[in-house]
Structure 1
Amino acid sequence: MKRDQERKRRFRSYTVNMASPKARTTIIMLGLAIAVFAIIVSVIAVQLLAGGQKGLAGKMLHSISAHSLSHVISQEIPMYASVGPDVTMVENKVYPKGFSNMLLYLFTDIDAGNPLTVVGSQVPGMAVSEFQLLTPGPEFDVPPAEHTHPEGSQPNADAKPREKVEDFKTSNEPLVYVYHTHNRESFLPAMPGVSDPDRAYHPKENIEKAGTALIEGLKKEGYAGLQTLEDYWVKGDFNRAYDFSRPTVQKVLKENKNLQLIFDIHRDANKREVTTRGINKENYATVYLIVGGGNNPHAEKNEAVAYELHNLIQEMYPGMSRGVWKKNDTRFDTRYNHDLNPNMVILEIGGPENTMAEVTRTAEAMSKVSAAYLKKKGFAPQRLEGQKQ
């Protein structure tokens, strides 16, 4: 009977001899593991504070998209899967697959599934090979040039804050919105004494003037527009500029629900012979229409808008467009904020060797192109405040 009761006992005690070599080894290993974990967490915290997205920690966090997080949550919470965002819209090849490939990518920037990551930074021309041409024709053969700057030589490293500039807005509800992620991109003819294209940045004489000319031209055509003139140049790392402009765009989109065209206007980095065209006996700066690919669920709609604008440019100003390009680079986040709205397109107007007159002429031409686009969409011109009858 006593033996049967012993069999029914649900709990048994276990005595550990803390003085034994095995127990000491276990405790020491556990302590070392905790110490290593604490060191790793500390290193990651320091890198996040000091290095942003350039450090290993930044890469790790940057490689985790919102869609990836949604996918993980949906695996554990069935209700979230039915109401959460559609994760199937995101491309499957944005980041390296497999644990070993991810570790290799984090430590070396090499994706074993993408050979371009091995030679992209070493072979001239490979850095822009991830641009996909969306407009057929041999005349569209030169992709937009990358704004490359060596490590430690950021163009905005010594930039000083400028005076506050008021945003430019017409009286009616805007249909077109213009902003500038790289707002201080400038032009050498407007910068006496500067001849290096890598130094073509200026707090006042810059690409923002093209945006203002476009909005003013739209006003003359009877269409309301809005231009934000926030100086992102002094906010930090040049490579994170799209992170800085993103909150501005989100705020504007929330406050203006009827925007039909959203332009992030930049300057290209190519030579003058590539970025200039003679039209009607006058020189115009060329236009690149760029779509953010990568992790962008609106990519196809962005492409359609860009392609329609390109066709209008070719019809109204033959040769002014250098084509529609989509950035599909899988190594970095190449959405360019285009995931926020399907009507968004980057316009790269001219290059560092173009004059401000040529750039302004192109911006005014783009206002007429934009007006033609809006008319095709059924938006009739209106009489705006201050506009002559």
Structure 2
Amino acid sequence: MAGILVNFYRKMVSTLIIIVCTFSFFLIAGFISSSNISIFKFKVNGDIGAEVFLRIISYENPLIGHALTGSNTDLPIFSTGFKLLTNIEMNDLRSLVRTGIPGFMAFDSNFLIADEGVDFTDIPIESAPPMEVLLQERNMAANELEELNSGKIYTGSSPPEKSVFIYHTHSWESYLPLLGLEGAENENEAVDGKTNITIVGELLGKELEKRGIGARVDKTNIGQELDEKGWLTHRSYEVSRSLVQEAMAGNQKLEYFIDLHRDSVRKDSTTAMINNEPYARLVFVIGEENKNFQKNLKFANELHKILNKNYPGISKGVLPKKGIGVDGIYNQDLHANTVVVEVGGVDNNMKELKNTIEALADAISQLYWKAEEVNG
């Protein structure tokens, strides 16, 4: 009987030791990953899963390890192990809930190319109000209209050859200040069938024409088109696709396709002071589920780099999108130089928008004339 009890207690002690050791492992992993103890880190580059796999293989084949040397990205070993065991990333709170909240994956993205200080809290948010709301038409607030018409207005002739097609898949997206609703708590009030993102598209077209680049600005009321077809807003990219295809068929010389949108996040994330002037910040969105993804990425990244070189912080970065609840293509399979551009957010005013559109036109112009030199 005594022997049986001894064996029982030994098993209990062994089990307790295993539990304590396991718990201690998680505590130590959390401590190390939250600190900057470099002795527990090795250098890798790119996607964590792939690089860890390559690092392990490199122990058997040193030639593979050479591809991983010289990187400047730290990867904590213990937090990586913790992620593999639990599927939880210690530096991303979303990993705690991404599998537990229905529909959460639709908003679970990361910037592929990001400006300093930008994280997942700066990711653009899309939300569409009921159809009857987005079809309403209001005039622009008087002070914003005055700002729109202030300064030197370009009156020169438009270049005969159109090279840029500007359109607006979510044409109802507007800005609270433009509607006289500055400071409103509900961001979904920033929608209108008349005073909306298409005004920003017209500004971009004029700025490009100033720089000798012909631009066609499409102002189709997408909300109205959806309503006439009996479609919901998630099919808006089907409507805009037909517009892009029609434009391409009518003009073989179109080289750039810019789909302008407005973000739904608030002012602290969408506004920057640059050289003592206020700007609406930009985000470039590309669909990962289209055949031109790499070409789209190159195009967006070139714009991002030019912008942040000349206007530091104006571009948050390049955001790839795919998966449930998002389009994932954004008509970008139609041409390599196609991109969705989020211009500011619901709280940005006309002055901030005008400043940003001038900067965006500068960047597009730089790419355009550089390509002309090469082709010429």
**TM-score where L is the length of structure 1:** 0.60
| Inter-partner Cα distance in structure 2 for 1:304 and 1:160 | 36
Give the direction of change, closer, same or farther, for the CA distance of 1:355–1:257 in structure 2 (3 Å limit): same
Shift in CA distance, 134/278, structure 1 to aligned 2, threshold 3 Å: same
C-alpha distance 116-357 of structure 1, shift in aligned 2 (>3 A): same
- 2: distance between equivalents of 1:189 and 1:379? 41
Q: Distance in 2 between matches of 1:371 and 1:202?
A: 30
In structure 2, do the counterparts of structure 1 residues 171 and 243 end up closer, same or farther at CA, with 3 Å as the change threshold?
same
Report what 1:209 is aligned to. Answer: 199
- Shift in CA distance, 210/120, structure 1 to aligned 2, threshold 3 Å: farther
Residue 140 of structure 1 corresponds to: 118
Kept after mapping to 1: 8 A contact 2:114/2:318: no
1:200 aligns with 2:194: no
Is the partner of 1:274 in helix, strand or coil?
helix
2:208 match: 218
Counterpart in the other structure of 1:290? 285
Select the residue among 309, 312, 335 that pairs with 2:306: 312
Tell me the alpha carbon deviations over residues 217-276 of structure 1, each in whole angstroms, 9 at most, x when there is no partner.
111111111111100012231111111111111100111222222100000111100000
Can you give the 5+ residue segments of structure 2 that lack an aligned partner in the other structure?
Answer: 1-95, 139-156
What is residue 267 of structure 2 aligned with on the other side? 272
Equivalent position to 1:355, from 349, 357, 371: 349
Which residue is equivalent to 2:100?
Answer: 119
Q: Which residues of 2 match residues 56-71 of structure 1 at below 5 A?
A: none
In structure 2, the partner of 1:336 is 330
Q: Does 1:157 align with 2:94?
A: no
The change in CA–CA distance for 1:223 and 1:286 in structure 2 (over 3 A counts) is same
Q: Which residue of 1 aligns with 2:235?
A: 240
Distance 1:312 1:116, change over 3 A: same
Looking at secondary structure, tell me which structure has more helix per residue: 2
Change (3 A) 1:288 1:248: same
CA distance in 2, matches of 1:252, 1:282: 36
Question: Is the contact between residue 209 and residue 360 of structure 1 (CA under 8 Å) also seen in structure 2?
Answer: no
Distance 1:302 1:116 in 2: 31
TM-superposed deviation, 1:116: 8.6
Local SS of the residue matching 2:260: strand
Equivalent residue number for residue 346 of structure 1: 340
User: Structure 1 residue 315: deviation in Å?
Assistant: 1.2
What one-letter code is carried by the residue in structure 2 that aligns with 1:273?
D
Q: Which one of 332, 357, 370 corresponds to residue 376 of structure 1?
A: 370
Q: For residues 114-168 of structure 1, what are the alpha-carbon distances to aligned partners after superposition, in whole Å with 9 as ceiling and x for unaligned?
A: x998535466xx5421x3422155423244332235xxxx4323454879xxxxx
Identity %: 30
1:117/1:331 contact within 8 Å kept: no
Contact 1:155 1:199 in 2 (8 A): no
Q: Secondary structure at the match of 1:205?
A: coil
Secondary structure of the 1:348 match is strand
**Aligned residue identity for 2:126:** H
1:172 corresponds in structure 2 to 160
Query: 1:136 and 1:367, CA in 2 relative to 1: closer, same or farther beyond 3 A?
Result: closer
Structure 1 unaligned residues grouped into runs of 5+: 1-114, 164-168, 381-389
Distance 1:238 1:353 in 2: 22
CA change 1:138–1:314 in 2 (3 A) is closer
- Output the aligned Cα RMSD: 2.5
Residue pair 1:267, 1:352 contacting (<8 A) in 2 also: yes
Give aligned pairs, total: 253
- Are residues 257 and 116 of structure 1, via their aligned partners in 2, closer, same or farther at CA, if it must alter by over 3 Å? farther
Cα distance in 2, alignment partners of residues 256 and 144 from structure 1? 34
> Contact 1:132/1:328 (CA < 8 Å) preserved in 2?
no
| In structure 2, distance between residues paired with 1:263 and 1:213 | 13
TM-score (norm 2): 0.62
CA 1:198–1:332 in structure 2 vs 1: closer, same or farther (change >3 Å)? closer
Aligned residue in 2 for 1:57: none
C-alpha contact 1:144 1:269 (8 A) present in aligned 2: no
Letter in 1 for 2:310: M
Cα 1:117–1:331 shift into 2, 3 Å: farther
Name the counterpart of 1:303: 297
Distance between the aligned counterparts of 1:118 and 1:254, measured in 2? Answer: 44
Runs of 4+ in 1 over 6 A off after TM superposition: none
Taking structure 1 as reference, are residues 324 and 120 closer, same or farther at Cα in structure 2, changes over 3 Å only? farther
* Counterparts in 2 of 1:120 and 1:366: CA distance versus 1, 3 Å: farther
CA separation in 2, counterparts of 1:133 and 1:159? Answer: 29
Q: Distance in 1 between the 2:117 and 2:160 partners? A: 39
Contact between 2:159 and 2:213, CA under 8 Å: does it hold in 1?
Answer: no
Question: Alignment partner of 2:328: what SS?
Answer: coil
User: Residues 306 and 277 of structure 1: is their aligned pair in 2 closer, same or farther, counting only changes over 3 Å?
Assistant: same
